[in-house]
Amino acid sequence: MKDKTFLMIPGPTPVPESVMLEIAKHPIGHRSSEFSSVLSEVYENLKYVFQTKNDVFLYTSSGTGAMCAALENLINPGDKVLCLSIGNFGNRWAKIAQSRGAEVEKIEVEPGKVIEPEVLRKRLENDKNKEIKIITLTHSETSTGAANDVKALCSIIREHGAVSVVDGVTSVCAMPCKPDEWGIDVLISGSQKGFMIPPGLAFLTASERAWKVYEQCKYPSFYFDWGAYKKSTQANSTPFTPAVNLIVGLNTALKMIKEEGIDNVNARHKRYALALRAAIRALNLKLLVEDDKNASYAITSILPPEGISVPDIRKILKQDYDIVVANGQNQLKDKIFRMGTLGFVCERDLIAAVGALEAALLKLGHVFTPGNGVTTLIAELNK
């Protein structure tokens, strides 16, 4: 049906109407006092959502821009960077580090698995001369639906002394992520995920330790330069013309998050993701990330039943029920489909999605007890 499409992909995510209406207004001047007061609220509320006392920079870019903003302000050619990769986005850190002339080493796992803290501990114990300068990791790996134990990994990194750089693109808002408390040195995220606004903005916050490394960076990024952003952020401004309308929308979205409370927002995502996982199992389907303790609360990866294809499931969900779910990426294309439960999603949406999935599976001849998914979902949501 026209205008009825509901996105259950891991970004872009649905946007609240009040945010859309703000974005639809005429742009305001980016050097006006009116915009400066919007920025002042946005910067304050970003610190609240990121749970940090440090500044949070606002970039007009996609999430990958913030990844570049992190590494391009830290790396000098020849620096040793260890990339902990649990999927495509972990690999992206390695590519960006390589583009800055770093000497990159990767620790990789098979899709759906996470980095075990002991594996990192052992590797760092062997780095006797402390050659590793930067360690990158992904919190919620959107390509697989697995989530690293960032708290444990960053505490091991702190003991070693390297700077930790964390991709929180689909974790900030969806999962507890506390840079100051957990010792994350650089944390980045993107607007089209848990922040409930369209794509186009990205965020970065850095610890004092990270700033010391930035000060040694010989060729910091021009567009993403931390020094320029710090100065502007502290003056409730931006160095260049930002996506004004998105920022006005972000102001409304951040107030909604603050009103609900970041801990409640995190808890809501956890409840939804775990309920969805239980419902999927009740439909005799398998999850790529088998263990709930390694699961992202933003995105759930599901294997199709034997003999039924991912494109067929996606097609029926879209054509017959107006629900869009994502395919797998790269080597996981057509092997999994991914359901996002990130941002502006409520229980009604989940019940509708699981009901639609049951209807699609029935049409495709999958054998299960109809109603089991929805019943399990509701029972889990009501726990």
Indicate the Cα dihedral angle 333, 334, 336, 337, nearest 10°.
100
Interface stretch with ligand PLP, choices 62-70, 71-79, 126-134, 369-377 (CB under 6 A):
62-70
Site string for ligand PLP, 160-189 (x = CB under 6 A): -------x-xx-------------------
Please identify, using beta-carbon distances, which residue of 36 and 329 lies nearer to ligand PLP: 329
Query: 25 to 54, contacts with ligand PLP by CB under 6 A?
Result: none
With CB atoms as reference, the residue minimizing the distance to ligand PLP is 63
Inter-CA distances, 242 with 21, 60, 72, Å? 19, 6, 20
Annotate 111-141 with DSSP letters as a single string: TT----HHHHHHHHHT-TT--EEEEEEESEE
Rule CB under 6 A: say whether 55 interacts with ligand PLP.
no
Q: How far is the CB of 169 from ligand PLP (least distance, A)?
A: 4
Among 14, 190, 305, 343, binds ligand PLP (CB under 6 A): 190
Interface residues for ligand PLP in 8-27 (CB under 6 A)? 10-11
Residues ≥6 apart with Cβ < 8 Å to 20 = 249
Among 50, 89, 182, 321, binds ligand PLP (CB under 6 A): 89
For residues 66 and 75, which CB has a smaller minimum distance to ligand PLP in the complex? Answer: 66
Considering the complex, what minimum distance in angstroms separates the CB of residue 129 from ligand PLP? Answer: 31
Q: Where are the alpha helices (DSSP H) in the chain?
A: 17-23, 33-50, 63-71, 88-99, 117-125, 150-160, 179-182, 208-215, 226-234, 244-260, 262-282, 310-321, 347-363, 372-381
Binding part of the chain for ligand PLP, among 57-65, 105-113, 116-124, 213-221 by CB under 6 A, reads: 57-65
Q: In the complex, what is the shortest distance from the CB of residue 364 to ligand PLP, in angstroms, rounded to a whole number?
A: 28
Q: Closest separation between CB of residue 139 and ligand PLP, Å?
A: 8
Distance CA 108, CA 148 (A): 12
Shortest reach from residue 67's CB to ligand PLP, in Å: 6
Euclidean distance between CA atoms 347 and 187, whole angstroms: 29
**Considering the complex, what minimum distance in angstroms separates the CB of residue 23 from ligand PLP?**
17
CA–CA distance, 10 with 232 (Å, rounded to integer): 31
Residues 6+ apart with CB under 8 A from 50: 56, 172, 177, 179, 187, 189, 203, 205
Cβ nearer to ligand PLP, comparing 64 with 284: 64
Closest-CA residue to 81 (of 117, 133, 127):
133
Judged by beta carbon, residue 148 or residue 376, the one nearer ligand PLP is 148
- Find the part of the chain contacting ligand PLP (CB under 6 A) among 12-20, 61-69, 265-273, 363-371: 61-69
The piece of 59-67, 106-114, 321-329, 371-379 that touches ligand PLP (CB under 6 A) is: 59-67
- Spatial CB neighbours of 319, under 8 Å, sequence gap ≥ 6: none
- Minimum distance, C-beta of residue 64 to ligand PLP, in the bound complex (Å): 3
Min dist. Cβ of residue 313 to ligand PLP (A)? 21
Upstream peptide bond of 12 is cis (omega within 30 degrees of 0)? yes
Asked whether position 343 contacts ligand PLP by CB under 6 A, the answer is no
Hey, what are 367's tokens? Answer: 């054998």
- In the bound state with ligand PLP, the residue whose beta carbon lies nearer, of 55 and 141, is 141
Pick from 12, 63, 176, 304 the residue near ligand PLP by CB under 6 A: 63
Comparison of 134 and 282: residue with beta carbon closer to ligand PLP: 134
Tokens representing residue 330 in the block: 């790269």
Do 225 and 73 touch, CB atoms closer than 8 A? yes
62 binds ligand PLP (CB under 6 A): yes
Phi, psi of 52 (to 5 degrees): -140, 155
The CA-CA-CA angle for residues 83, 174, 352, to 5°, reads 125
- Specify the DSSP class assigned to residue 239: S
Number of residues that bind ligand PLP (CB under 6 A): 12
Looking at residues 117 to 146 of the shown chain, list those that interact with ligand PLP (rule: CB under 6 A): 138, 142
Q: Which residues contact 116 (CB under 8 A, 6 or more apart)?
A: none
Instruction: Tell me which residues touch ligand PLP (CB under 6 A).
Output: 10-11, 62-64, 89, 138, 142, 167, 169-170, 190
